[in-house]
Amino acid sequence: MRLIYLHQYFRKPSMNGGIRSYEFAKRLAASKHDVVVVTSDNENVFNGWKIEQLDGFEVHWVSVTYDNSFGFLRRIWSFFKFLVFSSIHICSLKSDKLFVTSTPLTVAIPAIIYKFIKRKPYVFEVRDVWPEVPIALGVIKNKFLIQVAFFLEKLAYKNATHIVALSPDMRNSVLHRCGNTPVTVISNAADCHLFNLPLLTDDVLLRELKNIKNKHQKVVFYTGTLGVVNNLRSFIKLASYSNSEIGFVIIGQGKEEAELKKYATDLSVLDDRLYFLPSVNKNQLSFVHSTFDMATSTVLPIDALYANSANKVFDAFAAGTPLLINHAGWIKDLIERTDCGLVINNSPTFDDYNVLKNFLFSGERYEKARVASLDLGSNEYNRENLFKKLIAVIEGEKK
């Protein structure tokens, strides 16, 4: 099958960000499908399309600058530019089917255009409950724009032959909007082969990680975007209760970085009990999980965010790292079912800190969580197992 894989924010393992599309595209190509990924280069400025051969498939890059620090209008312009360029490009390619993954939801427009011009089907992957999240955050306030957003969402679902949702909660949201299109849940995945790797003695990042670990008995860490929805003030507040037996590390970048550092300074924890490190790529994450003790995923107390299927959660499972979260939803249910981690309040108190401390220093309970986390990564959320579900959807087989 000649397959176009449309993903505006495709990333390679050497780049910062999730590599779900890379891992699935590589496996689709290994399954004898002719795969072309159509995506954007957010950092380099160039004209036309740049074509790269990558692990058995092609990647077609178009220059569209984008950063999480962009304001609303600049983001909209980036979405619109990719919308136009990708619509023209995918319709110029020979193909049998399109697999399109959000975000942003605007990628539904090239998919719909593709369907009606090429007379070929598309499968739509939902990565966020959009537009519920931006509406809940107040990013979209105009009633007309809200109606347009919901109309586009419904149109995307209705015209797809199949929908892939990244969590059970996302599936419920899709079915609430459009119950006629079949929906399969394929969460983010654990890439176990990328974790628990031998440590490099001369690695600069590893030395920095070890320097932090040597200052504390245990270290809890966060990796990912430093944005409003990630609610890292909750993480910093939790760090303020520590007397240094537990250290806290934030690894990543984003528009909230300066304000978060100011908040940490105001609480007198910056570079004492809490540390900021730059983003790491997927290949470096193994060092982080091997050195520190507990991974964290935090969000604002907004129901629409609880459906998330954050990569950091499944990286923890791949590495066998216990997981700390501060929210309700399906991940909370998973933790309570398997004992792979800990759930605390969104606005942490000293009592929450003591719960965390007791967990980390309880050898038996911590080890049980570590084993449960690795079991989830090796089995239920293993990339190979989830790919079997995806290829059945792509090839049009019954689940």
Cα–Cα dist 357/353, whole Å: 6
> DSSP state, 192?
G
Overall average pLDDT of the 31-54 stretch: 95
Rounded Cα–Cα distance for residues 15 and 281 (Å): 5
Percent of the chain with pLDDT over 70: 98
Instruction: Tell me what the pLDDT averaged over the chain comes to.
Output: 93
- Give the rounded percent of residues in the chain with a pLDDT score beyond 90: 78
Q: Is residue 207 exposed (0-12), middle (13-18) or buried (19+ Cβ within 10 Å)?
A: exposed
Peptide bond into 301 cis (omega under 30): no
Residue 397 pLDDT: 56
Q: Which of 343, 337, 342 is nearest to 380 (CA)?
A: 337
- 212 in Cβ contact with 275 (< 8 Å): yes
Task: Name the band, by pLDDT with cuts 50, 70 and 90, for residue 120.
Answer: very high
Is a pLDDT exceeding 60 seen at residue 25? yes
Q: What is the DSSP string of 214-225?
A: TT-SEEEEEEEE
Instruction: Please give the domain boundaries of the chain with CATH numbers for all domains.
Output: 2-189+382-394 (3.40.50.2000), 192-380 (3.40.50.2000)
b vs e for 96-135, b when ≥16 Cβ sit within 10 Å of the residue's Cβ? ebbbbbbebbbbbbbbbbbbeebebbbbbbbbbbbbbbbb
pLDDT of 398 strictly over 70: no
3-state secondary structure of 73: helix
Contact at 8 Å (CB) between 390 and 188?
A: no
CA distance 65 to 67: 7
Q: 183: closest CA among 169, 198, 197?
A: 169
36-40, 195-199, 261-265: least confident range: 195-199
Q: What is the pLDDT of residues 328-368, one digit of tens each?
A: 999 999 999 999 999 999 999 999 999 999 999 999 999 99
More confident residue, 367 or 197: 367
* Residue from 46, 54, 45, 71 nearest 10 by CA: 54
List pLDDT tens digits, range 369-389: 999 999 999 999 999 999 999
Indicate if the pLDDT at residue 399 is higher than 50: no
Which of 34-38, 179-183, 198-202, 351-355 shows the lowest mean pLDDT across its residues? 198-202
Given a cut of 80, whether residue 179 has pLDDT beyond it is no
- Which pLDDT belongs to residue 1? 95
The predicted-structure confidence for 246-299, as pLDDT tens digits, reads as follows: 999 999 998 899 999 999 999 999 999 999 999 998 889 999 999 999 999 999
Distances (CA, A) of 142 to 76, 134, 267, 369: 15, 12, 37, 45
Helices 311-319 and 363-375: crossing angle in degrees, nearest 10, is: 110
